[in-house]
Amino acid sequence: MAFDYDLFVIGGGSGGVRAARVAAAEGAKVGLAEESRMGGTCVIRGCVPKKLMVFASSYREGFGDARAYGWDVEDGNFHWPKFRGHLQSELDRLEGVYRSLLRSSSVETFDCRARLSDPNTVALADGKTVTAKHILIATGGRPVRPNNLGNAGLGLVSDDLFNLEKLPKSLLIVGGGYIACEFACIMNGLGVEVTQFYRGAQILRGFDDEARGLVAEMMRAKGIDLHLGTNIVQMGRADADHTVANTATGSDAAMGASMQEVQAVRLEDDASNGGPVWVKSTNGRESFYDDVLFATGRIPNSSDMGLEEAGVEIGRRGEIVVDKYSQTKVPSVYAIGDVTNRVNLTPVAIREGMAFVETVFKDNPTAPDHDLIPSAVFTQPELGTVGLTEEEARDIEPVDIYCTSFRPMQSAFAGREDRVLMKLVVSRDTDRVLGCHIVAPQAGEMIQLAGIAVKMGATKQDFDRTVAVHPTMSEELVTMKAPIRSA
């Protein structure tokens, strides 16, 4: 059978675009459909704009630091519309880069939604139908609002923050994961009064306990009103005089509303009433906020794509089930990135896309390597991590813990009480460094380099015989001589 394309990619994010370009370079005829903006979550509504907001928010403390270092400067005022305009221009530029890369790679693009009609056929929303020998699903994920709270549509999700017309004076963030914590620090740095609710005992579940504890401590020290073991039980829109109307609880009939229904509620409500949001929490507190941000999770973008009808298996959370080569149960259909809910990081999606091309178009079966992936949480200070946490490691084998926490030179000189942490988790039997955890400014930059050593199987002795770079924060990674405890 003759197909229109050798490969058709659904999703124009980092993983899908990379796979499309590399496959085209191998001589494949490739098509790609994206229903939103080319570049996907990372470039348009995730990593890139978020990191630019991190940069913007970090200047707030810089004015005081500059004065401590002898500069005659006054505190400045942040101008959101100016930043937002520059941000949108940069995102437009990056989207143009992605389109140019696809065009120069001879990938034919379609700016519309696509869904499967059968294992080799894609129906496009513009009415066209195309066939392909191989289909790659790379549609990523999306943020979700809680489905047990009827008025959740009154709240924002992370996608909305980049398009705010103006910054709220007060913001409640619900959630304790990396997105919630990053935006808590960002908005606090931009001058917003930030309150954060998290239902768990400590933020950043899954990260090293000692590291996440220091992040929480520093967030509070910088003015974020963090409440653990706390959630919303009731919320509603208030009038300008703070008269509460349109309240709802988790028992209302709106429970389980679809994302489209929830969004419609928000749009209708915003058009009729722009007052503050009234919130009652599980600790009995009642407060008003200009906005509420739900950062309570993301789900794979797999709904209404014809996948199950085509025979593709979908998991409990909506993820596309794939084998180690990213192939679904339908031989012609593959999936990579967040839609598979394996390791939801942009560089991982890119690696999975490259491995897919090796497997399918280079006849070199390649499984993406998901072991020892460095990552960073862009809180203030940042958290960089690679390998096992202390808690994970001690459940596997005996370990020694090398850890130090101190006031770094730069901020200590400026009179700030900021603290950083450097931590190594070491196998007692093999001396191999099983995990490295850093809480510090620029921890993301440090963990990228430390990740190379950990990935290579470096031992504590390897770290010890590396000469320190002085004076730096990271020199502590190679100067910790004795464990502070064993586990």
Q: State the angle between helix axes of 60-68 and 47-58 in degrees (0 to 180), rounded to the nearest 10.
A: 40
Q: Helix, strand or coil for residue 206?
A: coil
Active-site residue flag, 470? yes
Give the integer Cα–Cα distance in Å for 439 and 377.
9
Comparing CA positions, the residue from 360, 307, 290 lying closest to residue 137 is 307
The DSSP result for 139-168, as a single string, is --EEE---TT-TTGGGSB-HHHHTT-SS--
- Strand duo 108-110 + 30-33: pairing: parallel
CA distances from 144 to 42, 155, 157, 291 (A): 17, 11, 7, 16
Give the integer Cα–Cα distance in Å for 423 and 211.
8
Q: Helix, strand or coil for residue 99?
A: helix
Q: State the angle between helix axes of 80-104 and 14-25 in degrees (0 to 180), rounded to the nearest 10.
A: 20
Helices (H), 36-163: 40-45, 47-58, 60-68, 80-104, 158-161
Cβ-contact 424, 436 below 8 angstroms: yes
Give the integer Cα–Cα distance in Å for 20 and 12.
9
Q: Which of 79, 227, 242, 470 is catalytic?
A: 470
Strands (E), 105-210: 108-110, 114-118, 121-124, 129-137, 141-143, 170-174, 193-198
Which residues are tagged catalytic?
Answer: 470
